[in-house]
Chain A
Amino acid sequence: MGQVAMSFSVQELIPVLPEIVLLIGASVVLLVDLFAPGKGRASTYLWSLIALAATALALVYSFQGPQIVLGGHYQSDALSLVLKLGMVIGLACVLLYGRSYLAARDLLSGEFFTLSLFALLGMMIIASGGSLLSLYLGLETLSLSLYALVGFDRRSVASSEAAIKYFILGALASGMLLYGISILYGVTGTLNLVVLQGEIAAVLTDTDARQFSMLLGLGVVFVVVGAAFKLGAAPFHMWLPDIYEGSPTAVTNILGTVSKLAAIALVLRLFADGLQPLLLQWQPMMMMLAVMSLAIGNIVAIAQTNIKRMLAYSAISHMGFVVLGVLAGTAEGYSASLFYMLTYALTGLAAFGMIMILSREGFEADKLDDYKGLGQRSPVLALIMMVVMFSMAGVPPTVGFFAKLAVIEAVMAQGHTWIAIVAVLFSVIGAFYYLRMVKLMFFDDVEDPSPIEAAWDERVVISLNGLAILALGIFPGGLLAVCSQVF
């Protein structure tokens, strides 16, 4: 460690600038909120958006190509840049969608903004994680903020229950991950992902170290379990529906979209960077995860009557696709997974945003029946929701189609045709519950004719969000190219 301290220079802090800016921003928001007048929290809200804008600017302007700094614990590369931009933009959308929702429930307090910003900080650290340690630290920063956010509505029993469930299961998963990390460290003697990759390759080729390669396999099992939990892939998905349902929708939006980007960052850093040589060990495990996620997610979602639970199971099935791309074990596969997750986050933002727009004081709009006749109440919102649903089902011309195409192509390129067939067959089953949403909105009659009160900014954001899903479905080339250049 002495060496690390000696080689430190201020120059090294430039790639870390976005995190520094965000940390300062979050602290400013914390302070501003202390002295903010009234209950409107307009200033906290504005300062949070300013903090996000500053972070985005810092991201773009401090980027100087791939760099590994802070003793190898922090790496800044194209992957981290893309992910972080996605996270920042995503969180900004979450805040925009969430403001009036939170205000109507008397939840618009400073904690929401500061905790969200700290969660974002954790996510950004994961995206730039250069070592097992920094990945773990980022993950804990994220998780602790999320635990608090989930239980943030203290008058709601469901919210508190969800928080406790999330905390206990999350801590268990973190423990698993940490145990796996400790085994990897024990065998290789390093936490640095780049060094780890070389050490593992050396252990595997060394015929005298057979027992060590078995130990590495054991470590990988725990790492996969921990990552699968954070990703929300079956059979480690049990927490997801309850927590999606119990949390305030604004928090579900973070869990369901932005934090998924952190999960894919964790998975890509761990498996694409560090554990790549152990591909043959984790590939079969991931195949099981993928198939189970696709099966459980798509089938159980059909039985749901609550849209947040339905979207939770839908998320599980989408994680099946993401895992599919990762298990291909190629640059194509990783970039396909990245593309899938980015576009899934975009789609999820609109879905949860819609729930918040349709909700009002004392009405959550989280039952499927609440969507009956939406096509008559508000044709534009219903059209947007329809685009979201078709994108999740993977029907062109929405972006969900190209996401699935990319993943299936990557998997089939590795010769796993059967698993691609399983995936598409389950997505046909999945299409049913997305179609049911469209049916409720367009084919059924209005049950609750009360007018929809949506602020102009929410309408603008959700329209842009819906258009982006369509536009990326028709012109996916740019984002696909970005995702493939990252690897």
Chain B
Amino acid sequence: MNSYPLLSLAIWLPIVGGLLVLLLGSEARVALSRWMALAISAATLLLTLPLYCQFDSTTAAMQFVELAPWVERFSVNYHLGIDGLSLPLILLTSFIGVLVVISSWTNIANRLSGYLGAALIMEGLMIGVFAALDAVLFYIFWEAMLIPMFLIIGIWGGPNRVYATIKFFLYTFLGSVLLLIALIYLYLQSGSFSILDYHQLAISADVQTLLFFAFFAAFAVKIPMWPVHTWLPDAHVEAPTGGSVILAAIMLKMGGYGFLRFSLPITPDASQEWAGLMIGLSLVAVIYVGAVALVQTDMKKLIAYSSISHMGFVTLGIFLFSPLGVEGGIAQMVSHGFISAAMFLCVGVIYDRMHSRDIADYGGVVNTMPLFAALMMFFVMANSGLPGTSGFIGEFLVILAAFEASFWIALGLASSLVLGAAYNLWMYRRVIFGAIANDKVAALTDINGREKLVLVTLAVAVLALGLMPNPLFDVMHASVDALLDHVSQGKL
């Protein structure tokens, strides 16, 4: 086992680095902020790579564990560790972190150092969420992250940013405080804040139900599930491109991760009891929200609704309690991390040139931006779940798992693929194809080197995961099997 505290480094390097960028940066030294941020995020990515290389995929036990007493009054520990559930998400976070920095190179007009600093701090906090094994530590990372996101949307966002960011903050805060109550309850029962202790704690059925819904309040808002999803379209639309990318690619995954780390293992019996409700809500998200995406006139809103719809696959897969479903859900999270990031970046590319997200303002973009059109075509296809792309893997596995459970669930899910193809391709047709809509479109220039770099990297990632998903599945088998074993045993 490695003797370096890799997880701590991966968490604190971006946080401390982000603070430095914040302190050293000024309007006069934009280049310094950029290169510092790039160096820090790249170093973080490099730090997380050994996590994968040295990961022992044969065991479900926590690895790279760090444990030190922190607040002795409440026996809170600084306890970090990862297993197959968290490793993919940590890698996703550090990977997207670099892309966010590169994509914000020139399109943030004012206070760039603050923006990059906030993004880096958030990256560290999100890695912290995925690595924390102490409930208070987890909660602190989980909540602290709201502050930089609140600022990113509020300072650098669109015209209605204040409404969107306050709604985002209060919505998620409301869910989180109920999580806090649940965690304190568990602490009083077990005398510890260790999440792993909670997994073994015997809890009666009634209490499990209450705890399950407290967890639900926090995680369903975050992921988000219908009907508590309404903050997401607002936040996405108003956030600057980088903020949208972080939100969609990583922050939503925290909700799915929460279900896997808290709901399932701590309240296994309640999870099974209420699985029907979860599957029902997920189906509504997949189908109804997919239909809602169809009628959007704002590109970012469309992608936001498509995100909610895709996250429906994740929650549905998780609550089928089969290896296929859970692994499909995790694969869907990772894949959506790549694809939604790419989609928002694509919108960002044309938004930077046209300052409009309205589909009606576009048309015939392919004539002036052929390379961009090709790349966006690829991502739109991936978003619709085209085989060969990563979007296919997760959805296919979840649908397979659904067939094992019930034909009708699978039918509902499969029908959403048609919807997905419809809203994606229709949007693409209206924006990219057709005659050149107006003078602004005629004056567009194709993507520059930096945009190319970001989009091509993501395209390679989407393709690689789509063609060779095994490196991803290999690391999670043991953990998923152990988790499902634990759930099927129950606590009663």
Could you tell me the distance in whole angstroms from the C-beta of A483 to the nearest C-beta in chain B? 8
Stretch at the interface among B67-75, B263-271, B333-341, B394-402: B67-75
Contact (Cβ within 8 A) A390 B147: yes
Residue from the set B139, B162, B184, B185 with the largest chain A CB neighbour count within 10 Å = B184
A481's contact among B72, B136, B184, by CB below 8 Å, is which? Answer: B72
Stretch at the interface among B2-10, B175-183, B480-488: B175-183
A413 at the binding interface (Cβ < 8 Å): yes
A211 at the binding interface (Cβ < 8 Å): no
Contact (Cβ within 8 A) A443 B144: no
B108 at the binding interface (Cβ < 8 Å): no
A82 to B181, CA, bound (A): 29
A408 at the binding interface (Cβ < 8 Å): yes
B460 at the binding interface (Cβ < 8 Å): no
B24 at the binding interface (Cβ < 8 Å): no
A362 to B162, CA, bound (A): 31
Could you tell me the distance in whole angstroms from the C-beta of B145 to the nearest C-beta in chain A? 10
Stretch at the interface among A23-31, A72-80, A99-107, A395-403: A395-403
- A293-318: contact bitstring with B at CB < 8 Å (1 yes, 0 no)? 00000000000000000000000000
A352 at the binding interface (Cβ < 8 Å): no
A481 to B71, CA, bound (A): 9
B150's contact among A375, A405, A424, A438, by CB below 8 Å, is which? Answer: A438
A379 to B110, CA, bound (A): 14
Q: Which residues of A contact B154 (CB under 8 A)?
A: 438-439, 442-443
Contact (Cβ within 8 A) B140 A397: yes
A145 at the binding interface (Cβ < 8 Å): no
A277 to B33, CA, bound (A): 62
A442's contact among B70, B144, B151, B173, by CB below 8 Å, is which? Answer: B151
B170 at the binding interface (Cβ < 8 Å): yes
Contact (Cβ within 8 A) B71 A432: no
A439 to B169, CA, bound (A): 12
Contact (Cβ within 8 A) A396 B140: yes
A443 to B153, CA, bound (A): 9
**Complex interface residues of chain A between 426 and 474 (CB less than 8 A to chain B):** 427-428, 431-432, 435-436, 438-439, 442-443
Partner-A contacts on B (CB < 8 A):
70-74, 114, 136, 139-140, 143-144, 146-147, 150-151, 154-155, 161-162, 165-166, 169-170, 173-174, 177-178, 180-181, 184-185, 187-188
Could you tell me the distance in whole angstroms from the C-beta of A479 to the nearest C-beta in chain B? 9
Contact (Cβ within 8 A) A408 B72: no
Could you tell me the distance in whole angstroms from the C-beta of A396 to the nearest C-beta in chain B? 4
Could you tell me the distance in whole angstroms from the C-beta of A123 to the nearest C-beta in chain B? 26
A477 at the binding interface (Cβ < 8 Å): yes
A475 to B469, CA, bound (A): 42
Contact (Cβ within 8 A) A405 B188: no
Contact (Cβ within 8 A) A397 B71: no
- A404-417: contact bitstring with B at CB < 8 Å (1 yes, 0 no)? 01101100110001
**B142's closest neighbor in chain A, by CB?**
A396
Contact (Cβ within 8 A) B71 A477: yes
Q: Which residues of A contact B181 (CB under 8 A)?
A: 408, 412, 417, 420-421, 424
B185's contact among A405, A412, A480, A481, by CB below 8 Å, is which? Answer: A412
Could you tell me the distance in whole angstroms from the C-beta of A179 to the nearest C-beta in chain B? 39
Contact (Cβ within 8 A) B147 A409: no
A249 to B140, CA, bound (A): 34
Contact (Cβ within 8 A) A428 B140: no
Contact (Cβ within 8 A) B162 A428: no
Q: Which residues of B contact A439 (CB under 8 A)?
A: 154, 162, 165-166
B147's contact among A395, A417, A477, A481, by CB below 8 Å, is which? Answer: A395
In the complex, the 5 A-B pairs of residues with the closest C-beta atoms, listed nearest first: A424-B177, A396-B140, A480-B73, A477-B71, A443-B154
A476 at the binding interface (Cβ < 8 Å): yes
B170's contact among A390, A420, A432, by CB below 8 Å, is which? Answer: A432
A396's contact among B72, B143, B165, B187, by CB below 8 Å, is which? Answer: B143
Known contacts A412-B185, A417-B185; A443/B162 CB under 8 A:
yes
**B157's closest neighbor in chain A, by CB?**
A443
Could you tell me the distance in whole angstroms from the C-beta of A78 to the nearest C-beta in chain B? 15
A408 to B182, CA, bound (A): 11
A190 at the binding interface (Cβ < 8 Å): no
A62 at the binding interface (Cβ < 8 Å): no
A224 to B54, CA, bound (A): 62
Contact (Cβ within 8 A) B173 A431: yes
Known contacts A409-B187, A424-B178, A431-B169; A401/B143 CB under 8 A:
yes
Q: Which residues of A contact B143 (CB under 8 A)?
A: 395-396, 401
Known contacts A409-B188, A428-B170, A435-B170; A477/B178 CB under 8 A:
no
Contact (Cβ within 8 A) B71 A480: yes
A425 at the binding interface (Cβ < 8 Å): yes
Contact (Cβ within 8 A) A405 B136: yes
Known contacts A402-B71, A432-B166; A412/B177 CB under 8 A:
no
**A473's closest neighbor in chain B, by CB?**
B140
A43 at the binding interface (Cβ < 8 Å): no
A432 to B173, CA, bound (A): 10
28 contacts between A and B (CB under 8 A): A375-B155, A390-B147, A395-B173, A397-B140, A397-B144, A401-B143, A405-B136, A405-B184, A406-B73, A409-B187, A412-B184, A413-B188, A424-B178, A425-B177, A428-B174, A432-B166, A435-B166, A435-B169, A435-B170, A436-B166, A438-B151, A439-B165, A443-B154, A443-B155, A443-B161, A476-B71, A477-B70, A481-B72
A402 to B71, CA, bound (A): 10
A109 at the binding interface (Cβ < 8 Å): no
A476 to B74, CA, bound (A): 11
Contact (Cβ within 8 A) B173 A484: no
Could you tell me the distance in whole angstroms from the C-beta of A422 to the nearest C-beta in chain B? 11
Contact (Cβ within 8 A) B184 A409: yes
**B114's closest neighbor in chain A, by CB?**
A379
A435 to B169, CA, bound (A): 9
A21 to B416, CA, bound (A): 79
Contact (Cβ within 8 A) A409 B177: no
